[in-house]
Structure 1
Amino acid sequence: MGRCNGRCTLVGFCCLQLIAALERQIFDFLGYQWAPILANFLHIMAVILGIFGTIQYRSKYLIMYAVWLVLWVGWNAFIICFYLEVGHLSQDRDFIMTFNTSLHRSWWMENGPGCLVTPVLNSRLALEDHHVITVSGCLLDYQYIEVLSSAAQIFLALFGFVYACYVSKVFLFLRLGFQFEQRVLFL
């Protein structure tokens, strides 16, 4: 039986992060949330860089990946605060998630588990290309689904950060040890 070292574990966490980020990207596309779409795209690129750095023994790529994970944790903490409306954050401000290009709605708002969506016809509040709805009967409100998604991203990022630091340190020591051995051979 083989055992999984730090490199193997980091690739596993990166694969889990990639799956979670792709899932999140799909639902953000369905909800027309442009800021999260951009952040998810950057995260996917950073995770691919982390996988490549791990497989190719490139500690600089792992350090860049670890730095990105710190920013990613901050972004997800912001998302949690946004959906829980902490402080002065409010979901009524469309420009935060959509860059003021469309109506901001989480896809989970209308399609959450057990939600019953009822359109409000002839409402003066509706824009030309949007409709006003009422949502009731949800087993879990969309805010909490978004918060759980961000919390999972933070959890994966923290483990990825620890393993990226560990593996990059091992790579640096291996490189230093290899250079030391070469110098000793030439003496």
Structure 2
Amino acid sequence: MGCCSGRCTLIFLCTLQLMLAVERQVFDFLGYQWAPILSNFFHIILVILGLFGTIQYRARYIMVYTVWAALWVVWNVFLICFYLDVGGLSKDSDLLTFNISAHHSWWREHGPGCVRSDVFQTPPGVGATATSTGESHGYFTVTGCLLEYQYVEVLQSAVQILLALLGFVYACYVVSAITEEEDSFDFIGGFDPFPLYHVNEKPSPLLLKPMYQST
């Protein structure tokens, strides 16, 4: 397979996936999104495995990457549905943090153009008891965002889906190409321990007979 073949394209796709996965992992850590952090961790490992298999012509490793690419598409479709509130999901829930914290996406407060303003006030709907005791709660408002955080997350997931689909297609192509090469090499005796043209190295009895010269 030449330099411009599907193998080189798959190497490029895996490298790009790896870079974007590391970038996404950093921002998910900043937002304490534990479910995406775990999924990104496995994604990075399996993309590295697929990259290694592509470079070293290991079809089994590429097949594992192919299976993961399909699962990665499913996961990112779920994230899109989550942030768009599709199918009963809600982006305001604590599902991605396993309900152990109330953190949300880092892009919610730090998106492009977003300005955060801290507001300390008594929450609306609280009775007179809390107001009279002087209890106050801190809130923040985010204004001026050029793109809402849910759309940033959806855009990231859409890019991941596109790369995973391309990686799936090229991985299948590379696996088939490697398999064909192995089959053709085996057909001409590349893996045959007994070659077709076997030279008998056992010495002939005629060569062991002493030669007597008559006088």
TM beyond 0.5: yes
Structure 2 residue aligned with 1:144: 151
Corresponding residue number in structure 1 for 2:108: 109
1:73 partner letter:
V
Q: What TM-score does the superposition give when structure 2 sets the normalisation length?
A: 0.79
Residue of structure 1 equivalent to 2:46: 46
Cα deviation for residue 120 of structure 1 reads 2.3
User: What is residue 10 of structure 1 aligned with on the other side?
Assistant: 10
Which runs of structure 1 show a deviation greater than 6 angstroms over 4 or more consecutive aligned residues? none
Matched, 1:153 2:152: no
Q: Separation in 2 of the partners of 1:69 and 1:131?
A: 42
Q: TM-score, normalised by structure 1?
A: 0.91
Structure with the greater alpha carbon radius of gyration: 2
| Residue ranges of structure 2 left out of the alignment (5+ in a row) | 125-136, 197-215
Greater RCO, 1 or 2 (C-alpha within 8 Å, sep 6+): 1
Q: Which runs of 5+ in 1 are unaligned?
A: none
Residue in structure 2 matched with residue 78 of structure 1 by the alignment: 78
**8 Å Cα contact 1:123-1:132 kept in structure 2:** no
Larger helix share, 1 or 2: 1
Secondary structure of 2:188's match? helix
Equivalent-residue separation in structure 2 for 1:49 and 1:172 (angstroms): 18
The letter of the residue matching 2:177 is V
- 1:100 deviates by 1.6
Identity of aligned residues (%): 60
Q: What is the CA RMSD across the aligned residues, in angstroms?
A: 1.9
Mapped partners of 1:9, 1:123: distance in 2: 57
Deviation at 1:132, TM superposition (A): 2.7
CA distance in 1, matches of 2:31, 2:116: 15
Q: Aligned pair 1:177/2:205, yes or no?
A: no
